[in-house]
A and B are shown apart, each in its own frame.
Chain A
Amino acid sequence: MNFFEFPGIDVSALAVAVPDNKQINMDLDSIFPDGEVKKFCENTGIWERYTSVGMGITASDLCVAAANKIFDSLDVDRASIDGLIFISQTPDYSATPTSYVIQHRLQLENCGLVYDSNIGCTGFHFGIQMACANIMGGCNRVLVLVGDAEPERGWDRKISKDSLLFGDCGVAAIVERTKKDVPPIQMCLHAIGRDYKKILNPYGGARHSLINLYKERGTEGLEKLFVNGLIIEGADVFTFSITEAPKVAKAFLQHFGNHVERYDYVSIHQANQMIVSHVAKRLKIPQEKVLMSLNRYGNTRGGSVAVNICDLVSQNLILQSERQFFNLSFGTGLSVAALGMQMDMDRCLPVINVKDSFDDGIDNYTYF
């Protein structure tokens, strides 16, 4: 477990984009045995989510739209961005890094520090940590993008029940050096690598390649992968979430001498309703401080704590001045992350919907 404190650094803007395509889970009722989807929705709390299926929209498209919204609405000079981090488990390509395509699309000509990172549900926390560390090392203003989207998940109504959890989103955050009097960004990161198999996408990488899967099992193997690619050991992941997340949250609060009272809002990773409620209960967080958006956005993975915050703005619950947030995430790795930060609500933008995908001019016959 590591603790970090970054004084003189501000998360100065936040935006979230989702595909302009709402999927109501109950509409998929006929794919599964009688009553299963309703029971799933009641227990997970996930009734609706936004998905890029049929639209070809990727995580980078959503992140670019969110970033453009910040540049256009909040008068941030593109030339002032000197760091770009794209965190996703669904990049556009395995090579080149998607962040370089994004740098081109956003016209961030003065940005030399450009990289991708593969982090799951704790992606937002890691993005803020990386940005802060880069600012300590010399950057002034870093654009952090966090997002995941799977445009083929659920295509042709081939979908596993686990997939009904996930919504697509892209987050953009500006992290910058500041002379303003802001509280330091505080963070705790915890890794449990021994449990790497608990949430795993086993096939398709270098260790268990698509080619080998195809050679041994033909298209049947590829079809199974397509529907059930992500393996989640549900009971163990649930136990991990409701025990380790509160443990890390308590360690964070104790280390920095903070109390949950200090925060206006607590944004817990929107894994599912049972987990969020249980974690909140264990930490004795008053209900009114706990943000919930999963009923409408699903589990949006690395971006979900930011979806919560921008959803708050979308709902006009608060509009102005600074608020203190305690963000708590957990997921594949296994990884747990806690983050205390201030946000100026004037610079948090309502969630936007995206219709268009980027045309890179490539099709399935372009190169061979």
Chain B
Amino acid sequence: MNQKEKMALIEEALDTEEGALVPDTILSDLDEWDSIAALSLIAMLDEQFDKTISGAEIKAMKTVEDILAHMN
């Protein structure tokens, strides 16, 4: 999966506009970054990458890059 496809999955999970995110985007600056977005992200990482993410790991994510780091 290339970077563009990964970004599309993150945008879908966070329910943001297409192309709204770049790797440097700070999650806490996004209106969409809330508890429901966190759950969508957990579901996406589980479904697409078979990765189990804890609440602490979610809280530690500061930027979109930190999400991308789990997508391999």
Which of A98-106, A235-243, A261-269, A315-323 has 4 or more CB atoms under 8 Å from chain B? A235-243
Q: Are B46 and A243 in contact (CB under 8 A)?
A: yes
Given contacts A43-B36, A274-B39, contact A234 B55 (CB under 8 A): yes
| Min distance, Cβ B21 to any Cβ of chain A, angstroms | 19
Given contacts A242-B42, A243-B52, A274-B40, contact A235 B35 (CB under 8 A): yes
Please, what's the 1-or-0 string for B33-52, where 1 marks a CB less than 8 Å from any CB in chain A? 00110111011001100001
Q: Are B42 and A238 in contact (CB under 8 A)?
A: yes
Please, what's the 1-or-0 string for A215-249, where 1 marks a CB less than 8 Å from any CB in chain B? 00000000000000000011110110011000000
| Min distance, Cβ A274 to any Cβ of chain B, angstroms | 6
Q: Is A255 an interface residue (CB 8 A)?
A: no
Residues of B within 8 A of A235 (CB): 35, 38-39, 42, 53-55, 58-59
Q: Are A242 and B36 in contact (CB under 8 A)?
A: no
| Partner pick for A274 among B43, B55, B58, CB 8 A cutoff | B43
A40 to B34, CA, bound (A): 11
Count of chain B residues with Cβ under 8 Å from any Cβ of A?
Answer: 16
| Min distance, Cβ B28 to any Cβ of chain A, angstroms | 15
Residues of A within 8 A of B38 (CB): 234-235
Q: Are B39 and A234 in contact (CB under 8 A)?
A: yes
| Partner pick for B46 among A40, A233, A242, CB 8 A cutoff | A242
Residues of A within 8 A of B54 (CB): 235-236, 239
Given contacts A239-B53, A239-B55, contact A39 B36 (CB under 8 A): yes
A242 to B43, CA, bound (A): 8
Q: Are A233 and B55 in contact (CB under 8 A)?
A: yes
Q: Are A234 and B35 in contact (CB under 8 A)?
A: yes
| Min distance, Cβ B4 to any Cβ of chain A, angstroms | 25
Which one of A234, A239, A281, A282 has the highest number of Cβ atoms from chain B below 10 Å of its Cβ? A239
Please, what's the 1-or-0 string for A17-45, where 1 marks a CB less than 8 Å from any CB in chain B? 00000000000000000000001100100
A residues within 8 Å of B by Cβ? Answer: 39-40, 43, 233-236, 238-239, 242-243, 274, 278, 281-282
Question: What are 30 of the A-B contact pairs (CB < 8 Å)?
Answer: A39-B36, A40-B36, A43-B39, A233-B55, A234-B35, A234-B39, A234-B55, A235-B38, A235-B39, A235-B55, A235-B58, A236-B54, A236-B56, A238-B39, A238-B42, A239-B42, A239-B46, A239-B53, A239-B55, A242-B42, A242-B43, A242-B46, A243-B46, A243-B52, A274-B40, A278-B46, A278-B47, A281-B47, A282-B46, A282-B47
Q: A233-B55, A239-B52, A282-B47 are in contact. List 16 more A-B contacts (CB 8 A).
A: A43-B39, A234-B55, A235-B39, A235-B54, A235-B59, A236-B55, A236-B56, A238-B42, A238-B43, A239-B42, A239-B46, A239-B53, A239-B54, A239-B55, A242-B43, A281-B47
